[in-house]
Amino acid sequence: MTKKATEELKEIRRRITEIDNKMAELFTDRMEQVKKVGEYKKINSIPIYDPEREEQVLKNGSERIQEPELKSYYVNFLKNLMEIARRYQSNILEGLKVGYSGTEGAFAHIAASKIFPTAQKIAYPGFKKAYEAVERGECDCAVLPVENSFAGDVDQVNDLMFSGSLFVNGMYDLAVTHDLLGIEGTDVKDIKTVVSHPQALSQCATFIKENGLSEMEYSNTALAAEYVKEKNDPSVAAIGSAESAKLFGLSVIARSINDERTNTTRFAVFSRVESRASNSTNSPYFSLMFTARNEAGSLAEALSIIGRHGFNMRTLRSRPMKELLWQYYFYVEASGDIYGEEGRLCLEEMKSCCDMIKVVGSYGNIKEQKI
């Protein structure tokens, strides 16, 4: 290599070092912002992984690079950068305490683990106990089921949403698969009795009927699996998750015995602090509860107001109010920014036909995960 070429290489490397120094400063600045986002997510009980946000970052980043041969390298660079950011935020959220109803291995525990993989999970005997633990500050948030595609609403959780003080900061649709669990060496033909939560039993009614099995109800699927393990009887099996089988040392005798292959349970994340989604969030959603005045047409008018302001309702359900005979409250899930100008006008207008209006939560896209 000539002296001139050597000097040119030195200059190129000097320039690369300058760029590396600037990148180090920018990386430090970026991680400071990542830390702030992580702290915000912890306070508001928001999961670390946001696929819509990451997809948008990659799209925007790709558009900034004009040289076609560099685009894929830059996208990979951003992917690595976001993975580093998630790991950094995971350390921040490690102290997060998440309550759920049931026991370890139950679907609620699995859902909480999927949504908050690094957080400390705390089991409570019932929805109300988990909800109240967050109200007391014993937990940062609670992951509770609000609806099942097969069995319908979870009434007690809906009542807690109506009467309680917590906000919904996220909704997650989790595809649930029921397996038949038994002691090692058990065959389907050996089984006489199947044990599980009433909803799980109803969701597997065809399999149970075809195999002539008797049913035994248990408070949740994980406890049913534990019961089968302790009983150690090949004639008794549980309906539950593959995770429960691993946890209690059972074998999966038959997989996916649900009547419906699209069995989905929607879980909500409840927190003391409200996290307001806006139109800057991809397809924001909100949950709203209200009581209509005891006047002809008041319910129809309330729903009409919501529609007139451009909000597309995806869920509408009613529940009787325990303290008032023949009185109902209504739950609406809709897409749009309830805290934008149209939302403000909508809520103001609804006061003319509603006695009570409560925004339960505002959040981004409803996420889908598999159990």
- What is the spatial distance between Cα 199 and Cα 264, in angstroms, rounded to a whole number? 12
Q: Do 81 and 149 reside in the same domain of the chain?
A: no
Q: Which residues of 298-334 are buried (b: 16+ CB within 10 A; e: fewer)?
A: bbebbbebbeebebeeeeeeebeeeeeeeeebbbbbb
Same domain, 335 and 276: yes
From 93, 125, 159, the end of a domain falls on 93
CA-based torsion, 99, 102, 104, 110: positive or negative? negative
Task: Give CA–CA dist 171/364, Å, rounded.
Answer: 8
CATH number at 211 reads 3.40.190.10
pTM: 0.72
Same domain, 87 and 54: yes
Distance, CA of 260 to CA of 315 (rounded, Å): 21
For the chain, 371 residues long, the average pLDDT of each consecutive 10-residue run is 80 91 90 88 80 86 88 90 84 81 88 88 93 92 85 80 93 89 94 94 94 93 94 96 93 93 87 72 81 93 96 92 80 93 96 96 68 43
Specify whether 18 is located in the same domain as 144: no
Asked if residue 339 lies in contact with residue 284, where contact means CB atoms within 8 angstroms, the answer is no
Q: What CA–CA distance (Å, rounded) separates 31 from 25? A: 10
CA angle, residues 75, 81, 82, in degrees to nearest 5: 90
pLDDT of residue 181: 97
Tokens matching residue 306: 């919501």
Q: How many domains does the chain have?
A: 3
Q: 218 and 205: one domain?
A: yes
Q: Are residues 124 and 197 in the same domain?
A: no
Last residue of a domain, one of 93, 114, 147: 93
Distance (Å, whole) CA 48 – CA 85: 9
CB 280 within 8 Å of CB 158: no
Residues 139 and 207 in one domain: no
Sign for the CA dihedral angle at 359, 363, 365, 368 comes to negative
From CA 156, how far away is CA 152, in angstroms rounded?
12
Q: What is the pLDDT of residue 150?
A: 56
What is the predicted pLDDT for the residue at 370? 47
In this structure, what CATH number is given to the domain that contains residue 25? 1.20.59.10
Residues 109 and 253 in one domain: no
Query: What pLDDT was estimated at residue 39?
Result: 84
- Which pLDDT belongs to residue 154? 80
One-letter amino acid at 211 equals N
pLDDT (tens digit, 9 = 90+) per residue, 314-361?
A: 999 999 887 766 789 999 999 999 999 999 999 999 999 999 999 999
**Rounded to the nearest 5°, which phi and psi values hold at 356?**
-140, 135
Rg of the chain over all Cα atoms, to the nearest angstrom: 26
- Residue-range definition of the domain harbouring residue 223: 179-262
Q: What is the pLDDT, as a whole number, of residue 366?
A: 59
Q: Starting at the edge strand that comes first in sequence, how are the strands of the sheet with 312-320 ordered?
A: 312-320, 328-335, 285-292, 354-363
Tell me: do 269 and 123 sit in the same domain: yes
Q: Tell whether 158 and 201 lie within a shared domain.
A: no
One domain, residues 195 and 158: no
Looking at the structure, tell me whether residues 171 and 275 fall in a common domain: yes
Q: Where does a domain end: 208, 230, 262? A: 262
Return the structure tokens found at 255: 């997989």
Q: For position 275, what pLDDT does the model report?
A: 79
